[in-house]
Structure 1
Amino acid sequence: MTEAPEKPRISRHLTQTRLTTRATMALERLWPLVLPLLVTLSLFASLSWFGLFRMMPDWARFGVLAAFAAAAIGSLILLRRYRAPTAAEIDRRIEAANALVHTPLRAQTDKPTGRQDGFADALWREHQRRMAARLDGVGSDLPRTGVPQRDPWGFRAAAALLLVTAFAFSFGPRGGSVDDAFRAVAFAETIPPRIDAWVTPPAYTGRAPIFLSAANNAETPVFTVPENSDVTLRVTGGSGAEALFFADAAGTQREIKPSGTETGGEAAAPAPAAVPSVAGASAARQFTGKLTADGVLSLQSDGRELDNWAFAVTPDKPPVIRFSGEPRRAVNGAFELHYEVEDDYGAASAKADFALEEAPAPDARPLYNAPEMPLTVPRRGSPDVAQKATRDLTEHVWAGSRIKLALSAADDAGQEAKTETKTIVLPERPFTNPLAGAVVELRKIFSLDANQKQHVLDLIDAVTLRPEDTFDNPSHYLGLMAGRTSLKLAQTDEALREVADYFWNMALQIEDGDLSNAEKRLRQAQEALKQALRDGASDEEIDRLMKELRQAMNEFLREFAERAARDPNMAMQQPQPGQELSQRDLERMMDQIENLAKSGNRQQAEELLSQLQDMMNNLQAGRQQQQGESGQQSEMREQMNKLGEIMRRQQEMMNETFRMDQQQRGQERGEQFGEEQGEQGDQRGQQQGQGMTPEEFADAMRQLQQGQGQLQGDLESLMKGLEGMGIQPGQGFGEAGEAMGQAEGALGQSDGGRAVGEQGRALEALRRGAQDMMQQMQQAMEGDQGGGQEGGRQQNADRDPLGRPRATTGPDFGNSVKVPDEIDVQRARQILDAIRKRLGNALSPELERSYLERLLKLQ
């Protein structure tokens, strides 16, 4: 009675288990047959979503489609192998999955064989009941497809991952679709290559780059370039098989590898990585190499030549340096060198090499190395190869010794040159005070050999044995004893060098007092400013150095004047009133140096600074002549002073005329702008014209006309005075008078532009006339004096204590230093402003920006 309800429950559960097992067996038999078809479809979708079909030519697209179709058909044929599971197979799978023994599931459907009776049937039913009791809780197992055994490397997972990645990529701007495989796409053939080639000469040559592939260079047979120029070639598009070859004059050909590959040979240097082009085009390929010899550069692709360029390489010659005069002592005691430096692109550096003629003893312990003296080199592009360098080496312990001197120069390519070796005596500072000279000699002994320290101590003891007879100033005795104590306690070379510096400063204090320190600061300020001008320092740095130079100059002149007041002999050597250089003249000269430096004329500023240094050197040396002047010489000096005044007034008048003309032109432009813009423009134009009304401008022009006429009259008076002295005025004075008349007429017509031109012509003619007048006066004076002295004093007789041309030979007409006038400076500033404005434009081409930067560096 209890078994009746159990049979339906077992029957329902067994039916569900059989259905689940049937599905499991069907899946594990079908999945290996369907998987190839799914992989084929996923690969097809991946190629489509990646947009590859859109990039293929038609023949390739059709071929890939045919391959996929064949794979799909083959995968469908595999489905014919599928067999549905039978009931017996399902029961055996359930029994195997549940580890049932004695086949209890089949026992439910089996029937006994043979003759049946009541006992046999009852026994069979009992057996079925017992077997049915084992079926309680049976279930199915998971599918076992066998795919991992067939695909041990897991390629099916790679196909699935590729499908997911391609699906995400399809939503991007370059993604494709499944339709691309069945849609004809116009495929572009290989993009014709774009060739950009240029040569960049080394920066130190100052040469501009050459764009080889420019249209205007297409007919150039041979390009002349400096040695070590960088040649760069970039190919955009093309087949990607382009190769670059360089064949030298001997016919030897070598390949220049593109960027990013291993290079071989000197002509293939590393270069920046190639920049990829847009999608669908070949990546840009860049070739870079150096041109060291004549040859032909050839770009080839698939055995045919695309383009070629022939080069004639100009060798970089080594520099040449030579003495242009004997090394000598300058008037202020500094060591002066005159030399010439030549190089095809300008030397980079030069220096003087010193060595003692007599080598020190093997056991000597010198405290100082050879002195260092860097030399200035000509600016690039300057035709003047003659240079002068001065350096105060009197403080060095080698001063007064015989040394071997040679000059060396190097260019930017690393090539060097040397001069012959000269044997000279290094200039030393003369000391008139015996005690100062003795202190310097003691310093020199232990500086050349620190082992002589005890000997120097003994000498100091000898000098200080009777201080009341040796020392006039007790402070000198105390200073020397302090130096002896420091020398005795010094053990290291550094401490001994400090003692040597102390001895030198003590000697200067004994000899000159405070003037030596002021002189040293002045020289340091001059050298710092000269170096800043050469290095292209900023305007702020120039301002700071000019302030230091002015302070050092004022301090030096103050100390010099105080010393002259204390020293009667020095006061007797002061120049005549006509030969003096006032503080105002020095200030104006330094103002000119500062203005030239800020306007970009660094070379002129450096030359003017050198002239200032020479003047101060002459002042420090006390050079002057106390020669009496005859009456005729005084008259000549008076006439030359008049000429100098006329030239100064003409220069000022030209500057004033130019300024007024520019102001009037600006006012007229403002009025025209106001007329075009209406009422608002009228008000703006009136505001711009408030500087000077037309009546005021005409009145100012009349005043300039009167001044120009008076200047012309003064020139005529000067010419008559020269004729009275027996000097024939040159043709330049006649041209100057004519130009002054033309300028006067132009001023009367308020034509400022023409007046400025005539005034400039008059000024130039005055300079030519002044040269002729000076030659005639010099010949006349030589005839009266019967010739000058020989040697250096003959050259110095026509100079004042500061090195200026003396009044007997006329004013300085600008022959020594070409200083631009105010108009030239204004024009230079306008050009610099235009260059900086163009350089600040971010849209300017890179080649143009590089060229403008080199222009600014030429300052």
Structure 2
Amino acid sequence: MTQTPQNMKGNSFAGRLGRARVATLAVMMLERGWPLVLPLLVVISLFVSLSWLGVFRILPELARFGLLGLFLISTLGALYPLRFYRQPTPAEIDRRIETASELPHTPVLVQTDRPSGEAGAFAQALWREHQRRMAEKLADVGSDLPHTRVPERDPWALRAAAALLLVVAFAFSQSPFGGRIADAFRPGTVFDSIPPRIDAWVTPPAYTGKAPLFLTADASGREATPFTVPQGSEVSLRVTGGAGDETLSFTDSSGKTHEIPLQNAPGTTQQPASAATTSAGSAPRQFAGKLDADGVLSLGSGGSELRKWTFSITPDEPPTIRFLGEPKRAGNGALELNYEILDDYGAASAKAEFELADPQPTDAHPLYKAPELPLSLPRRGGDGKVRLSRDLTGHPWAGSTVRLTLTATDDAGQEARSETRTFALPERPFANPLARAVVEQRRILSLDANRKPHVLDLIDAITLRPEDTITDVAAYLGLMAGRTKLKLAQSDDQLRAVADYFWEMALAIEDGALSTAEKRLRQAQEALKQALQNGASDEEIDRLMKELRQAMNDFLREFAERAQRDPNMARQQMPQGAQELRQKDLERLMDQIENLAKSGNRDQAEQLLSQLQDMMNNLQAGRQQQPGQNGQSEMRQQMDKLGDIMRRQQEMMNETFRLDQMQRGDQQGDEFGDWQDGMSDQFQQFQDGQQGEGQQGRQGQQGQHGQQGQGQQGQGMTPDELADALKQLQQGQGQLQKDLQGLTRSLEGLGIQPGQGFGEAGDAMGQAEGALGDGDGNRAVGQQGRALEALRRGAQDMMKQMQQAMEGDEGNGGPNGRQQGANRDPLGRPQGTTGPDFGNSVKVPDEIDVQRARQILDAIRKRLGNALSPELEKRYLERLLEMR
């Protein structure tokens, strides 16, 4: 019974001791081997870290070989300490166990030791008893932790830095820019990059209206042909592939060079391209910068130049603005300005600056600032001339002498100023004495609020005997209410409210409800004009046109009611021989404005709206028409002769073309001749309608139809008959040239210098006569067309000279030296009695122009709606739709 436990106890003791010896062996091996292996592990970790960071991929071949050699030498040096490693012996292991377990008298050594010499039975029993007692002390035998003494050798813990670098490199190796261990042993890694793809373009400023310029590779190397771009253009360059070390620099004409930074993602700072460590074939690199001076743009990589472009910068010139005439009063009392704004890309804004010319008291307290008058801008591509009419009669400065300066600013912030003109700001004339007095009081109060007591005294003087001076009780009550408001007013806002009340009261006394309708009409016209200039939508144009029509109807209704109440006014507005103002004329004109605006031809719509404003101004002003004098009658006769010459030249060109086509045997000439006949009919009807002589128009039409009949009958002409017809046309062409010479002499006798167009027309008629004599109908038609065009130019020049002569003779007939309504109907149109209209009075685009504009707009919108279109192209198309 006692042996079994002892055997079991012995077996348990032996197992514990064996495990302790194995653990102690591992601890001693780690203590002796770790300091010797650690340098080798540090060298290996550094090599792997540099590989994962991609250092070997970007190093040149020589540097890569040098770094590999350094690591090889470091590895051999790290292997040398391993030769000093010594394996622990069993005695050293037992001694380490006894030391770790703090066992006295070497109980572990006793278990394997033997007595020396020959021992008897008693000695053997005594030794076994000693071993048993020592074994009882080994119940808690064990090992301890290793003590490598590495901190003593590395007090700065540099080994931890190598481990940290290894962890960071491993994380970086998972990115697109990370490297691999094999990169250190792969030759030519730096030359394995993808050949770079370079995309470069220049985007001009949006206000220039110019399309982006793409810099092609073929044109990049030609320094003799620089790219011409506007000042402030933005150059963009994108590099895909390549080595990743590209740099972009710009050298100006003075030799100064500066680098263009690399454009990073939003939220990151910009850095030079030389600091980028992207690998070959990685994400694209994009550069962006502005071009403000002539110079050369160069793209380099690794010390070599990849591309370069030479640029010639077109400077943005400052705008210029000047008066084209003195500021003057329009027929309806509005301020009319004629000015010119010139800028290379169009001005962005313009305004008029007013200041009082008469010195004001030092202690004056004005209630209102100078009038604010934003100026209309000329359309892009035009001649820069603008005529602006703006009603400032409601401003307190109206009637005062002011100094006016025009200013214009372009999109680059450059400003220009015109010369200063001094004139009297137009004011509204009031026929009612009470209205004039109220306006004068309002003006005194507005210019100096300190004169409030003086204005109260004036009102008291006016209302001293109201039964003798004021016939309208409502006007008296309104004036007394205004006096009470003025007496109680203390602040500037209250005083301005009183001044506005005085103005409305004066309008009510003078015109009743007409002034309100007139104000609504002007507001509707101005709102529609601003919408056309700002590119409003079709829905907005519909709404504004409805408001304009309603305001026009209200104004005409009130105007007609006032004319019925005042017979003198009716006779003044409708003199004998004037054309009647009809509602359908205005409706037709507004329909044309709306159709042009919706079709995209907003420039022409704006011109028609300006003409509508002129018509209403003329109607409001009540321009009188005076009977023509003898000189004017002679001018009208000469105009009639010119119209007859143009008609005959048109008919002769049609007949020449018809005979030429018959001579060639071309049956298509009949169709073209029919078209020419239709156009001739329309031309003759237009002339007859302008002249107001229906009988002459019918005779002209019969003459044309007669020629058409001759042409149709002449389809069966023999060659001899065709030759006789051409000879007759030659004689007619010569007579027409003589008639033109006689007209030129007559004009010189009236003091009108014939323009260059009449001379060109005479030369073309002579050449047409010679071509007809040679039987060359084709050349004759061309010369006749040139003569007809030159006649039209000469007619326009003659009309201008006649108008200037009439205005000079009748300079005392109206304000500003202009006769009120001379040769005009109430809508401002030329009367039919002044001769034919040569096409320069109202310019309405042909239907073919409107259709072409609509087709262009549809094509742009279709292209813009394509989702696959590039972004740059979409931006350019959007700017085309916004251009005015």
Same fold (TM over 0.5): yes
- Per the alignment, do residues 142 and 829 of structure 1 end up closer, same or farther by CA in structure 2, a change over 3 Å counting? same
SS at match of 1:348: strand
- For 1:573, what is the secondary structure of its paired residue? helix
Provide the aligned C-alpha RMSD in A.
Answer: 5.3
Match for residue 208 of structure 2?
205
- Code of the residue aligned with 2:601 in structure 1: it is N
Name 1:622's counterpart in structure 2: 622
The reply to whether residue 257 of structure 1 matches residue 239 of structure 2 is no
Deviation at 1:512, TM superposition (A): 0.6
Higher relative CO (Cα under 8 Å, sequence separation at least 6) belongs to 2
Counterpart CA distance in 2 for 1:114 and 1:717 is 158
The AA in structure 2 aligned to 1:221 is T
SS in structure 2 of the partner of residue 253 of structure 1: coil
The farther-off stretch of 807-816 and 118-127 is 118-127
Q: Who is 2:830 aligned against?
A: 805
Match of 2:90 among 48, 67, 87: 87
CA contact (8 A) 2:517 2:555 kept: yes
Letter in 2 for 1:379: R
Structure 1 stretch displaced more, 302-311 or 140-149? 302-311
Corresponding residue of 2:225: 221
Q: Please give the secondary structure, in 1, of the residue aligned with 2:337.
A: strand
Equivalent runs, 1:488-567 vs 2, <5 Å: 488-567=487-566
Aligned-residue sequence identity (percent) comes to 60
Cα distance between partner residues in 2 of 1:558 and 1:763: 48
- CA drift at 1:737: 9.6
Deviations 1:688-737 (A, max 9, x none): xxxxxxxxxxxxx99x9999499489779979x9999999x99x999999
Residue deviations 1:208-241, cap 9 Å, x none? 4443445367475344444444444555536736
Paired residues of 2:247 and 2:259 also in contact (CA < 8 A): no
- Alpha-carbon spacing, 1:513–1:208, altered in 2? closer, same or farther (3 Å): same
| Counterpart code for 1:23 | A
* Residue 24 (str. 1) matches residue 49 (str. 2): no
- Assess if the C-alpha contact under 8 Å between 2:578 and 2:825 holds in 1: no
CA gap 1:428/1:201 in 2 versus in 1, 3 angstroms: same
Query: Which segment drifts farther, 99-108 or 272-281?
Result: 272-281
Distance 1:96 1:261, change over 3 A: farther
Checking the alignment, whether the CA contact within 8 Å between 2:245 and 2:274 is kept in structure 1 is no
**Whole-Å separation in 2 of the counterparts to 1:108 and 1:349:** 111
The answer (yes or no) to whether the contact 2:296–2:310 under 8 Å persists in 1 is yes
* 1:111 shift after superposition: 7.0
- 1:213/1:740 Cα in 2 relative to 1: closer, same or farther (>3 Å)? farther
Structure 2 unaligned blocks of 5 or more: 265-269, 651-670, 716-782
Q: Deviations over 1:593-645 (max 9, x none)?
A: 11111222222111111111010011111113254899x989x99x99xx99x
Aligned to 1:842: 867
Change (3 A) 1:811 1:479: farther
**Change in CA separation of 1:804 and 1:261 when aligned onto 2, cut-off 3 Å:** closer
Q: 1:598 to 1:762 in 2, by over 3 A?
A: farther
Q: CA deviation at 1:487?
A: 1.8
Q: Is the 8 A contact 1:709 1:744 kept in 2?
A: no
Please identify, of 606-615 and 538-547, the stretch whose mean Cα deviation from structure 2 is larger. Answer: 538-547
- Structure 1 residue 518: deviation in Å? 0.6
**For 1:160 and 1:64, how far apart are their aligned partners in 2?**
20
- 1:317 is paired with a residue whose SS is coil
What is the distance in 1 between the residues matched to 2:67 and 2:807?
A: 111
What amino acid is the match of 1:549? Answer: L
> CA offsets per residue over residues 252-286 of structure 1, 9 Å max, x none?
31112121499xxxxxx999999998744696362
Cα distance in 1 between the residues matched to 2:176 and 2:208: 49
Count residues in correspondence. Answer: 776
2:490, 2:820 → 1: CA distance?
Answer: 51
Which one of the candidate residues 853, 858, 870 is aligned to 1:828? 853
Secondary structure of residue in 1 paired with 2:397:
coil
Q: Relative to structure 1, is the Cα distance of residues 581 and 276 closer, same or farther in structure 2, using a 3 angstrom cutoff? A: farther
> Aligned to 1:244, what secondary structure does the other structure show?
strand
Gaps of 5+ in 1: 263-268, 651-700, 747-760
What residue in structure 2 maps to residue 290 of structure 1?
291
**1:169–1:462 Cα change, 3 Å:** closer
Q: What amino acid is the match of 2:342?
A: E
- 1:240 aligns with 245
Q: Tell me if 1:580 matches 2:580.
A: yes
TM-score by length of 1: 0.75
- Name the structure 2 match of 1:598: 598
Residue 244 of structure 2 contacts residue 280 of structure 2 at CA under 8 Å; is this kept in 1? no
Deviation, structure 1 residue 587: 0.8
> What residue number does 2:660 align with?
none
Structure 1 counterpart of 2:860, one-letter code: I
Whether contact under 8 Å (2:259, 2:272) holds in the other structure is: no
CA distance in 1, matches of 2:349, 2:343: 11
One-letter amino acid of the structure 1 residue matched with residue 524 of structure 2: A
Q: Which moved more, 1:369-378 or 1:465-474?
A: 465-474
1:687 corresponds to: none
What secondary structure sits across from 1:380 in the alignment? coil
Q: Aligned equivalents of 1:139 and 1:43: distance in 2?
A: 38
Q: Output the CA distance in 2 between the equivalents of 1:743 and 1:834.
A: 43
**CA distance in 1 between partners of 2:360 and 2:440 (Å):** 17
How much has 1:525 moved relative to structure 2?
Answer: 0.9
Partner Cα distance (2:405, 2:856) in 1: 42
Pairwise CA distance, 1:368: 0.6
Who is 1:693 aligned against? none
Encode CA deviations 1:100-151: one digit per residue, 9 max, x unaligned: 3454444555678899999999998777665544322222223333445555
Match of residue 456 from structure 2 = 457
* Paired AA for residue 19 in structure 2: Q
Would the aligned equivalents of 1:405 and 1:423 in 2 still touch at CA under 8 Å? Answer: yes
Q: Which digits, 9 at most, give the CA deviation of each residue in 1:539-569, with x for residues without a partner?
A: 2222221111111111111111111122222
Task: State the match for 2:396 in structure 1.
Answer: 397
Partners of 1:296 and 1:711 in 2: CA distance: 63
Q: Which moved more, 1:505-514 or 1:10-19?
A: 10-19
The residue identity in structure 1 corresponding to 2:362 is P
| Separation in structure 2 between the aligned mates of residue 362 and residue 829 of structure 1, nearest angstrom | 60
| Contact 1:736/1:763 (8 A) holds in 2 | no
Structure 2 counterpart of 1:87, which letter? Answer: P
Tell me the SS of whatever aligns to 1:409.
Answer: strand
Change (3 A) 1:52 1:494: same
What's the counterpart of residue 435 of structure 2?
Answer: 436
